[in-house]
Each structure stands twice: as C-alpha cells, then as structure tokens.
Amino acid sequence: MLVAIVDYGSGNLRSAAKALERAAREAEIAAEIAVTGDATTVRLADHIVLPGVGAFADCKRGLAALPGMIATLNEEVIEGGKPFLGICVGMQLMATRGLEFETVAGLDWIVGDVAMLAPSDPKLKIPHMGWNQLQFHAGHPVLAGIAPGAHAYFVHSYGFNCAAPRHLLATVDYGGPVTAAIGRDNLIGTQFHPEKSQDTGLRLLVNFLRWQP
C-alpha cells in the first residue's frame, strides 16, 4: 500500500514518516510511506495523512499553494472515501474555519471552529503542552486498543470546537474538555501527535494503516 504524507511546508514530516514506517513494520504491512507535495501521488495513495505544526493560516496557505492539492484531497478523501488522518494543525484544517491570528476558511470536512483554548483555571498555561490522558466518547477502529486514561502528547494553543457531538471521539481535561480526536466516516483527526506519543501513538498508527472504512 501507498501512504501519502502531504508536504506543504509545515514541519514534523520526518518524524511522522518514520513513525508510520515503524508502525507498518510492527503491523507487518508492506507500506511505502511517501512524503509528497504532489497531487498525483496523493491521488495514487491508499491512505492519506495531513500533518501540521504551526499557525492555521500559514498551514492553509501552504496547502493551497500546492497545485491541485486541495481539489485532489476533496476528490480522494470526501468523494473517494480514502482513509484520512489529520494530525495537530492537519486535524484543525478539517474544520470549517480557523480563528488563529486571522479568520481563515478550513477544508470544512467536519463542522467546527478552531479557536484559542480558554481553560477555566486562569493559572493553566497556554500552550497546552505535554502528556495528557485520553477520555473516549465513542469507539473507533483507529483508537482500538488504546485504554481510557492513556497518555498522548499535546502541544497547541488552539482547539477544535466540534459543532456536532457525534464527531467528537476523544477529549482531554485541561480546565475543561479539550478536543483530542474527531472523526466521521473515513476521516479521523488527532490534536495530539501520535508520532510523538510513544506506544500509544504507534498503536494508533498501526490501527490507521489497517483501517478499511
């Protein structure tokens, strides 16, 4: 199988690629992991990963600057139903819009806004940075085998405010619930970094590679 990691100038791609390679080895799946900015490669891929670190607007601009990429993602993921994983800002880009620095339209795949975190306790630091414990709201094949309370690594100042509760798969507590995973149909997104979350993250990536929604 071919897994495309979309490269639009946001960082973190090497560790995402290496973690997926490790996951493929552990799952005994013959997978080629392609880090690519080429829409044709994304079209050929079986699974698609959209990573992302940085600012929402900058990431959206980077993605839009790749010729044909957003159209291809819509065709392959939304119309074609290919398994899709968004990570961190890659997950946030699935939203209707982002409100970081400026209001910017997202891919609008899962209805919601990406807004500054507002923990109830003002002493809590922003960014929400470090290891927090996952609480699940719905079962999902990509989250299978990850125990409630498992730790995942977060680093973000903005969160995905999901409009429809049925799209909310997992949260963490940080002065109130913070979206940790969202999904519908063939789409899943994680605010945390599976590629930085040691065994929990590798488990999720193995599940994603095996996922046939």
**Among all residues, which ones are annotated catalytic?**
88, 193, 195
For residue 188, report the phi and psi dihedrals to the nearest 5 degrees: -140, 145
User: What is the distance between the alpha carbons of residues 86 and 34, in angstroms, rounded to a whole number?
Assistant: 16
- Contact pick of 43, 97, 137, 151 for another protein (by CB under 8 A): 151
Q: Which stretch binds another protein (CB under 8 A): 40-48, 139-147, 161-169, 195-203?
A: 195-203
| CB nearer another protein, residue 96 or residue 198 | 198
| CB nearer another protein, residue 53 or residue 99 | 53
Radius of gyration, CA atoms only, the chain: 16
Distance of CA 181 to the CA centre of its chain: 8
Q: Is 195 in the site for another protein (CB under 8 A)?
A: yes
| CB nearer another protein, residue 34 or residue 155 | 155
Tokens matching residue 11: 């960082």
In the complex, least distance from residue 183 CB atom to another protein, rounded to whole angstroms: 22
Cis peptide bond prior to 122, omega within 30° of 0: no
- Contact pick of 2, 155, 161, 184 for another protein (by CB under 8 A): 155
- Contact pick of 4, 87, 172, 180 for another protein (by CB under 8 A): 172
* Bridge partners, 50 (sequence order): 86
**SS3 of 202, please?**
helix
